[in-house]
């Protein structure tokens, strides 16, 4: 499978460093940024359950963007740590699940059971993509490849919320997230079998 990345993993250095220094200079730590991002995504989820999709999309976009800032702050202030990396990863996963669960609630409240089921499939795929990366790293492999990583999933959800296209977006997300999980599984399998092939 192709190792295709649609969106960049992080901000360009020329943009990230000034942002990181500016935010860090006022005493804001990377962990504060991570927790603020999670709180904002919980708010977005609540707005979705209230049928306020447009405000939810705006809130989701803003607070998801903080995921690009916490790393920049950590690097600019020299406060990068293993604990911070784990906290950020856990809160990212929790944020995504909260928002997708809110979407499932939204569909269920409208009696749209098929869309609700598709949303749960999207949730499984999203968690599986992240889990594949975690397992790859445990096995000593780098795993940042994927046709539909968190950046792409967030961007697609934002589009669905802002432009009232949540049903179509959820089908795309469910399909591509699960395909990405499968893609990563194949890449992990190849990576783990490579040493055996040389023996």
Domain 13-191 has CATH 3.40.50.300: no
pLDDT tens, position by position, 100-119:
999 999 999 999 999 999 99
* pLDDT top residue among 133 and 7: 133
- pTM, whole model, 2 decimals? 0.85
Does residue 92 have an active-site annotation?
yes
Per the residue annotation, which of 67, 70, 88, 92 is the catalytic one?
92
- Residue 192 is predicted with a pLDDT of 85
- Better pLDDT: 70 or 180: 180
* 36 and 63 Cβ atoms separated by less than 8 Å: yes
How far apart are alpha carbons 158 and 174 in whole angstroms?
Answer: 15
Average pLDDT over residues 163-167: 94
Contacts of 185 (CB under 8 A, 6+ apart): 132
- Mean residue pLDDT of the chain comes to 85
Query: Which run of H or E residues covers position 124?
Result: helix 113-138
Measured between alpha carbons, how far apart are the two ends of the chain, in Å? 25
* Cβ neighbour number for residue 187 with a 10 Å cutoff: 19
């Amino acid at each position: 499978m192709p190792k295709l990345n649609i969106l960049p993993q992080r901000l360009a250095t020329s943009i990230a460093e000034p942002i990181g220094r500016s935010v860090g200079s006022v005493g804001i730590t990377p962990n504060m940024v991570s927790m603020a991002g999670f709180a904002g995504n919980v708010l977005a989820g609540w707005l979705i359950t209230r049928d306020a999709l447009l405000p939810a999309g705006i809130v989701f976009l803003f607070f998801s963007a903080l995921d690009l800032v916490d790393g920049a702050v950590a690097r600019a202030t020299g406060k990068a740590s293993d604990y911070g990396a784990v906290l950020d990863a856990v809160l990212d996963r929790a944020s995504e699940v909260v928002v997708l669960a809110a979407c499932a609630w939204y569909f269920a409240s409208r009696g749209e059971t098929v869309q609700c089921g598709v949303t749960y499939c999207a949730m499984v795929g999203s968690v599986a993509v992240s889990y594949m990366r975690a397992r790859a790293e445990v096995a000593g492999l780098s795993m940042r490849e994927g046709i539909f990583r968190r950046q792409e999933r967030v961007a697609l959800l934002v589009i669905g919320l802002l432009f009232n296209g949540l049903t179509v977006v959820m089908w795309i997300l469910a399909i591509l997230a699960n395909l990405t999980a499968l893609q990563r599984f194949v890449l992990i399998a190849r990576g783990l079998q490579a040493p055996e092939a040389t023996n």
